[in-house]
Amino acid sequence: MKEVAVLVGSGSIGQAIIRRVGAGKHVVLGDLKISAANDAAKILENAGFEVSTVEVDISSRDSILNLIEHAKSFGEIKNLVNAAGVSPSQAPIKKILQVDLYGTAVLLEEFGKIISGGGSGVIISSQSGHRLGALTEEQDFQLATTPTEELLNLKFLQEISDTLKAYQFSKRCNVLRVMFEATRWGKRGATINSISPGIIITPLANDELHGPRKDGYLKMIEASPAKRAGTPDEVGDLAEFLMSSRGKFISGADFLIDGGTTASYWFGDLQYLKKTH
């Protein structure tokens, strides 16, 4: 039996993180598309990692529980990395809320029940959650603490009328949910944090940068303090620190890694975006 590291969502960012925390462990790759998980597994196996794959739909609690049972068969679950999700251009409002908001909340809840002592987790959120205006104290509390099966019934979520707002609320909920679950994970001696990346170069981002909306993306990158996009490895380096022995005093926190784009959105050259968001 080995220590187990679970990655949900086998894209570039998830792979970058698991390569840094999965050495010597059994790595479980979960993905809605088993073909994507298998492709990632082959890359990792050729780099010396021990890997198994499982199909998982995080909008289904039963599917998450099946993932956990699969992972437990190899040993104690030491790490969780959630890099799964859908974007505003990929899915309708209902699907975004089911996957990005509800699904992430269930993952945090269920893994929090079985994560091993000394374990750690990272949830990949988004800079988009930081572009949502301030919510009321009551709304923050509801997003953080409402029982998972009642989350989608919150009135202000049911009133969302566009996919971008659904995505922003989902990512805000991720951060708040991580804070709430950190109090539970801590009782098991484990830490949980979220990372909110900006524009990171992945195959999907490359498509956007060469597609019909490329001018808007390039303008946003140029107007950011860093004046460039980020790489999956930079997100991986941050996650590695948070999940290592050096990050044991950090839990329930969110980390923006966006080249200063959010700062520019609120106070700099990207303020023009507020009119469209």
Residues 6+ apart with CB under 8 A from 199: 205, 217, 220, 221, 229, 230, 258, 259, 261
DSSP E strand boundaries for 49-206: 50-55, 77-82, 120-124, 191-197
Choosing from 113, 167, 265, 275, the catalytic residue is 167
Choosing from 2, 171, 214, 272, the catalytic residue is 171
The helix, strand and coil proportions of the chain, stated in percent and rounded to the nearest 5, come to 55, 15, 30
Looking at residue 75, the DSSP 8-state letter turns out to be: S
Task: Give dist(CA 63, CA 82) in Å, integer.
Answer: 14
Task: Give dist(CA 104, CA 110) in Å, integer.
Answer: 10
Q: How many CB atoms lie within 10 A of CB 114?
A: 15
CB 202, CB 11: distance < 8 Å: yes
Is 217 an active-site residue? no
| Dihedral Cα 113, 117, 120, 123, nearest 10 deg | 10
CB 72, CB 95: distance < 8 Å: no
Instruction: Go through 226-265 and write b for each residue having 16 or more CB atoms within 10 A of its CB, e for each that does not.
Output: eeebbebbbbbebbbebbeeebeebbbbbbbbbbbbbebb
Q: Which of 6, 10, 14, 7 is nearest to 197 (CA)?
A: 14
Is 171 an active-site residue? yes
Catalytic positions are 167, 171
